[in-house]
Chains A and B, each alone.
Chain A
């Protein structure tokens, strides 16, 4: 059974640009969550999507957005990139929402220059 797939693995963008990251969850999983990992702030929750609806949102500015498609695949978008957005972005999928083990992808390493 395939795991969580994130694309691309690595990305370099310029300040002010926007970026879209993609996540394909484990087959049959309906919940997709996104996290940002930085050396200073650790792993921080961005948002969760379940059945195409945003269920939870972390404490991030509106430049960070996401969506989920009917096949449970999810994308996150960051607009007007800042240097501080450089991070490892991780996607996690779960069978259901709430008290479900979350399985993570390998992440997308975003570097903003």
Chain B
């Protein structure tokens, strides 16, 4: 039972345009969400997070949107750069469950010059 799903295994975007990565979850106990970027043979790199009390969080080119009623979150990257090409994972954690993250399956983003 996949509690966190990233339905698009891959996404290709032109440099300078917007990249939108999506993530759906089923567990209503999740209330803290994170996005990570990962290169092969390396550990995930933390990008941005959002708590369920917010519906938007921005950090530079990265913005995460949370729609609790739809159990959906998305990561927007504007403008996309070739260096953004990597696998992106969304992760979720329930309140007071410590740092027990449940990860989605990942979306491979390719930004073309």
Q: Which of B41, B89, B99 contacts A109 (CB 8 A)?
A: B41
A99-B32, A99-B93, A101-B34 given; A48·B46 CB < 8 A: no
Query: Are B99 and A98 in contact (CB-based, < 8 A)?
Result: yes
Q: Please choose the segment from A13-21, A63-71, A79-87, A89-97 that sits at the chain B interface, where 4 or more of its residues have CB less than 8 A away.
A: A89-97
Which residues of chain A are near B49, meaning CB under 8 Å? 101
Chain A interface SS verdict (over half): strand
Given contacts A42-B103, A42-B105, A101-B34, contact A56 B97 (CB under 8 A): yes
- For the complex, what is the distance from the CA of A90 to the CA of B42, rounded to whole Å? 9
How many residues on the B side are at the interface (Cβ–Cβ under 8 A)? Answer: 26
Instruction: For A92, give the chain B residue with the smallest CB separation.
Output: B99
B35 CB to closest chain A CB (Å) equals 11
By size class, the interface of chain A is 20 to 34
When the two chains form their complex, are residues B46 and A42 in contact, meaning their CB atoms are under 8 A apart? no
Best-surrounded residue of A35, A48, A101, A106 (most CB of chain B within 10 A): A101
State whether B42 touches A107 (Cβ < 8 A).
yes
Known: A42-B105, A42-B106, A101-B34. A48 touches B43 (CB 8 A): no
B100–A56 CB distance below 8 A: yes
Once the chains bind, are A31 and B99 in contact (CB under 8 Å)?
yes
Tell me whether B60 is interfacial, beta carbon within 8 Å. Answer: no
Residue of chain A at shortest CB distance from B106: A42
| 15 contacts across the A-B interface (CB closer than 8 A) | A33-B101, A43-B89, A43-B103, A45-B101, A97-B99, A98-B98, A99-B32, A99-B51, A99-B95, A101-B49, A102-B46, A102-B99, A102-B101, A104-B45, A105-B43
